[in-house]
Amino acid sequence: MSHYSHYPDYDVLSLINEWDDHTKEIVLKRLGPFPEPQFLEEKEVKMLRLIAKHLCYENRDDIIDWIIYFLDQRLKSNIGEHQRKSSLPQEKILIREGLKATDEATAQKYGKNFISAEIKEQFEILSSMQQGKAPMIPRWDSILQKELFDKLLDIMISAYYSHPTIWSEIGYGGPAYPRGYYRIELGWTDPWEPRRPGADKK
């Protein structure tokens, strides 16, 4: 899997001295190393790493490490969810039971668990879950597969696009605190923001 950037010479961390100490600490922690998971179990971590590679189309271990840490910290927290349908269980239950259901659905269709499945088979299971068409198993009666897929996608993509390496690849200038952004009009950039090669300067 190759990684292409419109900003090949840009590194958001080159701007780190423009950030206050608290912001530096928050951003640099995303680079690892990370402690052992406190909520997720070993098999769950293995499954979630594979799922993250599919949903984020990403194979770099350092970024997957951050996604798993982000997810683990969120699930171990006792802070309430910002919003949840009344018909859904808590996200920590949704994900834990949902991973069991994903494993069982994979076994029903392919005769093997999700971790042992081929990449294409894993992708097909996730794709069918997104559409609510995964092989029917009893556990889906309490865990809604589309909602499980959407929850994992939401959390993992949020973590993915909060990693400094991804910021650099998409040309995002980072927190810019306390300096701030000034040129906020469409198509305009501050002098320190990256520009794609050949792009007009504004």
- Please tell me the total count of domains within the chain: 1
**Domain carrying residue 30:** 12-170
* pLDDT value, residue 122: 98
In a domain, 145, yes or no: yes
* pLDDT value, residue 200: 62
CA distance 34 to 28: 11
pTM: 0.90
**Burial category of 5 from C-beta neighbours within 10 Å (exposed 0-12, middle 13-18, buried 19 and up):** middle
Radius of gyration of the chain, Cα coordinates, nearest whole angstrom? 20
* pLDDT value, residue 4: 75
* pLDDT value, residue 1: 60
Of 144, 175, 201, 158, nearest to 21 by C-alpha is: 175
In a domain, 5, yes or no: no
CA distance 49 to 201: 40
* pLDDT value, residue 195: 80
In a domain, 193, yes or no: no
| 146-185 per-position pLDDT tens digit | 999 999 999 999 999 999 999 999 988 888 777 777 777 7
In a domain, 158, yes or no: yes
In a domain, 156, yes or no: yes
In a domain, 64, yes or no: yes
* pLDDT value, residue 202: 56
- List, for the chain, all residue ranges whose pLDDT scores fall below the cut of 70: 1-2, 80-86, 198-202
In DSSP notation, the chain reads: -----S-TT--GGGGGGGB-HHHHHHHHGGGS--PPPSSS-HHHHHHHHHHHHHHTT---HHHHHHHHHHHHHHHH--SPPS---TTS--HHHHHHHHHHHHHHHHHHHHSS-TTTS-HHHHHHHHHHHHTT-SPP-GGGGTS-HHHHHHHHHHHHHHHHTTSHHHHHHHT-----TBT-----STT---TTS---TTPPP-
In a domain, 79, yes or no: yes
* pLDDT value, residue 51: 98
In a domain, 192, yes or no: no
Neighbours of 186 (CB within 10 A): 5
* pLDDT value, residue 192: 80
Of 61, 67, 63, 73, nearest to 37 by C-alpha is: 73
* pLDDT value, residue 77: 84
